[in-house]
């Protein structure tokens, strides 16, 4: 997912997240940057632990911030599947909802919040056929962990679960390893 920043009304979870992010931004970014050079033994097990800890604290249906301020990238398969669902041609679907990212040529949403987000209950109206990028977000378990440190560094700003996930990893790794 990439970012298109818009102003949205925030709930308590997101207000708290914003404060926590401001407090921890530098330290978490520096921690993640070190994965450019280093890794730790058993990182995949630690990632599993951190992921479980984060999801105990954050409920996506109280948040939906990724669907509000970011846009998924639509692959060719996504476009085919989702336009078919709406009985639209891929061309018509693209003209109605998508644009091409000038930086990398990706097909992305034209508007935020995402047109498929139900703002009343924070549910995705095309959940079963949503873009692969949405299904994989926030990418906690992509391997190798260090190959996705730049993604997590971006996501800690917008995703409360990612902030918890990286905070857990930082505390664990800095207390148990020379880092
Ligand atoms: S993945 Fe992150 S940003 Fe998206 S709804 Fe869940 S906690 Fe919020
Ligand atoms: S398609 Fe669904 S999951 Fe993906 S950004 Fe839109 S509302 Fe969120």
pLDDT tens readout for residues 38-55: 999 999 999 999 999 999
pLDDT for 127-173, tens place per residue?
999 999 999 999 999 999 999 999 999 999 999 999 999 999 999 99
pLDDT at 153: 98
Give distance in angstroms: CA of 152 to centre of ligand 1.
13
pLDDT at 4: 52
Which ligand 1 atom minimizes the distance to the CA of 70? 3
Can you tell me the mean pLDDT for 81-97? Answer: 98
| Cβ < 6 A, ligand 1 pocket | 58, 60, 63-66, 137-138, 158-161
- Ligand at minimal distance from the CA of 113 is 2
Give distance in angstroms: CA of 114 to centre of ligand 2.
6
Transcribe the chain into DSSP letters: -EE--------HHHHHHHHHHHHHHHHHHHHHHGGGT---TTHHHHHHHHHHHHHHH--GGGT-HHHHHEEPEEPHHHHHHHHHHTT--HHHHHHHHEEE-TTT--EEESSSS-TTEETTTTEETTGGG--HHHHHTT-TT-SSGGGGHHHHHHHTTT-HHHHHHHHHHHHHHHHHS--
- Ligand at minimal distance from the CA of 160 is 1
Q: Hey, where are the domains in the chain?
A: 2-66+138-176, 73-129
């Amino acid at each position: 997912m990439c970012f298109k920043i818009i102003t949205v009304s925030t709930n308590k979870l997101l207000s708290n997240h914003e404060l926590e992010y401001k407090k921890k931004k530098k330290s978490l970014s520096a921690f993640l940057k070190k994965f450019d050079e280093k890794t730790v033994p058993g990182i995949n097990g630690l990632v599993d632990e951190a992921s479980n800890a984060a999801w105990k604290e954050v409920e996506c249906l109280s948040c939906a911030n990724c669907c509000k301020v970011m846009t998924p990238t639509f692959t060719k398969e996504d476009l085919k599947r989702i336009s078919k669902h709406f009985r639209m041609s891929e061309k018509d679907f693209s003209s109605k909802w998508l644009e091409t990212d000038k930086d990398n040529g990706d097909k992305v949403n034209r508007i935020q919040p995402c047109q498929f987000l139900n703002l009343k209950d924070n549910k995705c109206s095309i959940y079963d056929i949503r873009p692969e990028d949405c299904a994989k977000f926030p990418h906690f378990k992509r391997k190798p962990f260090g190959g996705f440190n730049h993604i997590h560094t971006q996501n800690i700003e917008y995703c409360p679960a990612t902030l918890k996930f990286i905070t857990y990893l930082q505390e664990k790794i800095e207390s148990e390893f020379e880092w």
